[in-house]
Chains A and B, each alone.
Chain A
Amino acid sequence: MVSFTLNNRQVSVDADPSTPLLWAIRDHVGLTGTKYGCGAGLCGACTIHLDGTAQRSCQIDVGSVAGKTVVTIEGLSPTSSHPLQKAWVVEEVPQCGYCQSGQIMKAAELLAKNPKPSRAEIITHMDGNICRCGTYHRIIAAIERAAREA
């Protein structure tokens, strides 16, 4: 049994401690907004916040998050009203949408640390997150919009 805070809620997961946090969140807790893309920390689809920093949940053992605070896309805003989520809709960013939870969580970390990032800073920060539909320019536009309007 591993206990941690998930989206402001205390959860206990009965999983082998070596289970990747990604699968504990998806299969044990049942929150499926966090996606499996590569399982190797290469694509960023599974990005979540662990104690306030963006991490690849496929690379973290659930056993290691005991007592820590995890936030997923479902916990970013209860009403989808985070400035990034609103900007993502206005800029019509998602196509297939599969990578977008990870993109938004990664971008949320950036804006939390750097509320007015430059285009170059956005690209450096977001470069680890793959979008196969090629929505990168819209992701940049949405981050810039959120920074402007937040």
Chain B
Amino acid sequence: MTMIDRDLSRRSVIAGLGGMAFCVAVGNDGVRLMSQAQANALANAPITPWVRIAPDGRITILSAGAEMGQGSMTSLPLILAEEMDADWSNVAIEWAPPDAKVYGYKDPFGTENLMWIVGSRAVQLYFTQLRMAGAQVRKVLIANAAQKWGVDAETLKTEPSVVINPANGARMSYGEIAAFGTIPPTLPTVDPKELRERKNFRLIGKAVPRRDIPSKVNGTAQYAIDVTLPGMLYASSLHSPVHSAQPGIWDPGKQDQSGAAPESWNDAQVKAMRGLIAIVPLANGLAVVADHFAAAKAGRDALKVTWRKAKAEGFNSDRALEDYVKVHADPNAQAVKLEQKGDVTAAFATAAKTYHAEFRSDYAYHAQMEPLNAVVRINEAGDRVEVWEGSQAPDESRKAVAKALSLPLEQVDFHQCYMGGGFGRRSLGDYAAECALIAKAVRRPVKLIWTREEDIAQGMFRPQSFQCLEAATDASGNVTGWKHCVVGDGEALLVTGIKIAYYGVPSQAIERRGVSHGIKLKHWRAVGHVFNTFAIESFVDQMAVDQAVDPIEFRFERMGATPKARKVFETLAEMSNHKAKRAEGRAIGISITERAGSLGAGAVEISLERTSGKIRVHKVWAAIDGGVIVQPAAARANVESGILYGLSSVLHERITIRDGAVEQSNFHDYSVMRMSDLPEELHVRFVDVDSRPTGLGEIGNPFIAGAISNAFYRLTGKRLRHLPFTPERVLETLRA
């Protein structure tokens, strides 16, 4: 079927629905509603209705909020429903197709539209567009009622899904309007001033449950791993233990497309196993295809492969971290300047006192509970592809699959699924593209599931880092000069959270020094914020302690905390009563972090088992400025989740690489937090502000490391300087 046919069929679907369908089409300003007539006039544009109102009153709103537990699948349609004044109990949610030009937001760092649900962006970047679209729909509904009644539209009001004429009490439901209503070729414009005032919100800021929850208590929620197609085969892949190596001996005479030669693995032996159907070479591995997953996995586990060499051959993560110190010491090492303001040289030259500290952090793995997987079906002719995947970026996944199969984007359909965790890993579509190549090779629908071992070995990690911070203070103890250098691999990943806009230090020099190892790296729930904030906030605490000033007062008086930062700290102080004496053997630590426009101050109360080196976190407080809170329950859950993800990473999680290969292989040697590590108390408070919503998916995470290390200092007089704070490291620090 060609693209034009598909459009015609989509249009007839829209026409056949009855009621009113508000479409969206290509706009250079993100989400833009248009009438069906206008949409139909656009040749070859992918046309789907963003909002449908059926004569029975049922309203369907598409959601571009990929769902990994953070709740944006519900929040985005809810924002539109608010301004539309829809009766939420009659709103159904469907996934938006992966057309970023239509359903995307404008990339804040570029020019294109994106559907990437990453970096805590969903609510933040869709908020205004969706409110405007909702208000447009409401205007059209009111206009239709006004015309029917022969009254001035300006005199009419709405209640959820009903237009009301206050003059005579007449009521007309949105469903009734949908039965006769028309949508003007050009939709009415909305002035932002016409949007609802916060005090009039019926849905935003109210207790509206997430829509995905009921299906997640009875096993019916559909993740990609649950998709089953007729005639489907199962695949399990084995990739090179050294990242990005190719399988096999390069033999130009015998190679297939990937350059792999079957002589370099035990092909015949594995193919003889029960249920085995094929072994498909991949760019950096092999996929074993069988009639069931258990058989495919057994085949995968039996593979013995000779791998070619790759860049990471011989890489040792511990040794590399020590080499970072030399890179920092090398005056000729290339540095990328990230912040340069004031006269740093003068600040240090005239300083009454200077401070210096070094910090390290290890690699970390996402450990999302659902191992990476995808399902792909290609039609007989090879020109139509369907992908099922839980993706943080369906537009990227679609691109990755189209590229792998050398097909135009329009020939790839994408079916969004729930994600069993994302945390930044699920935004590339790499495993969907791999699945597509396998499906193409075996000419059958295929479900590819990475084993947990594969998921770790082929992890794309939060980079490791070395950091050096220096500060200059004047005679009054004010911090006047600030230098921060981070060394490591991962470029942009390495520098998130390194700038300190929430403080007012007048002269700053912040830089990155890059190295490159060939180890795969990726966004990881606030990535660089985790180690950068750790270093920054430990360093600030070190100065506060040296000057014998309360840590919050130090930040206010000597670091020049901004009004927004003061507000979250003041709220935190009120919540945690941080100056109060703690119980014997307990101490409290303070930290701040920004992320995705939000600002959060946090505190933890810890104790220490001195014989085992185990840190116990008993209480956590977080005061967050996230702007207007769209879904309070989901927002709170997001922050709580960030806090626990942070605790897990700071106290347990460590990836090490030896001889180029990841040493950890499953949850026995990659420890994550379990219920017995849960703090007894978790307190989250949002400061009450009127500003537009900012990101909340990651704000709970980055303050944890600094808060724990600062509490640890107060308890022991020693500073933890290397993430994670495993019991062995704690004991080492105590002995030092």
Contacts and interface: CB of A to CB of B under 8 A. Distances in A.
Interface of A: 15-16, 19-20, 23-24, 26-28, 30-40, 42-43, 45, 72-74, 76-77, 80, 85, 88-89, 92-101, 104, 123-124, 126-140
- Residue among B216, B368, B418 facing the most chain A CB atoms (10 A cut-off): B216
- Residue among A20, A37, A95, A100 facing the most chain B CB atoms (10 A cut-off): A95
B421 A132 contact: yes
Contact of B418 (A30, A31, A96): A96
A17 B421 CA distance: 32
- List 5 tightest A-B contacts by C-beta distance, closest first: A33-B219, A134-B644, A98-B420, A95-B69, A97-B216
- Residue among A72, A76, A135 facing the most chain B CB atoms (10 A cut-off): A135
Interface residues of B, number: 63
- Residue among A15, A36, A104 facing the most chain B CB atoms (10 A cut-off): A36
Interface of B: 68-71, 209-210, 212-223, 225-226, 228, 234, 274-275, 292-295, 297, 367-371, 418-423, 449, 451-453, 633, 637, 640-641, 643-645, 647-648, 666-668, 672-676, 678, 682
Given A38-B667, A132-B367, A132-B672, A97 B643 contact: no
A92 B633 CA distance: 8
Contacts of A32: 219, 222, 225-226, 228
B75 to A, nearest CB: 14
Nearest to A73: B219
Given A39-B452, A134-B644, A20 B294 contact: yes
A75 B207 CA distance: 31
A36 B450 CA distance: 11
Contact of B675 (A34, A93, A96, A123): A123
Contacts of B640: 134, 137
Contacts of B369: 35, 37, 43, 45, 96, 98-99, 130-133
A93 B297 CA distance: 32
Question: Chain A contact residues: over half helix, strand or loop, or mixed?
Answer: loop
A99 to B, nearest CB: 5
Contact of B673 (A24, A42, A134, A138): A134
A15 B294 contact: yes
Given A27-B294, A36-B225, A133-B69, A80 B218 contact: yes
Given A88-B213, A136-B678, 18 more contacts: A16-B294, A26-B293, A28-B292, A35-B370, A36-B371, A36-B449, A80-B214, A80-B217, A85-B218, A88-B217, A94-B212, A97-B212, A131-B675, A132-B645, A132-B672, A133-B641, A134-B648, A136-B674
B292 A97 contact: no
A89 B213 CA distance: 7
Contacts of A20: 294
A38 B674 contact: no
Nearest to B226: A32
Contacts of A139: 675
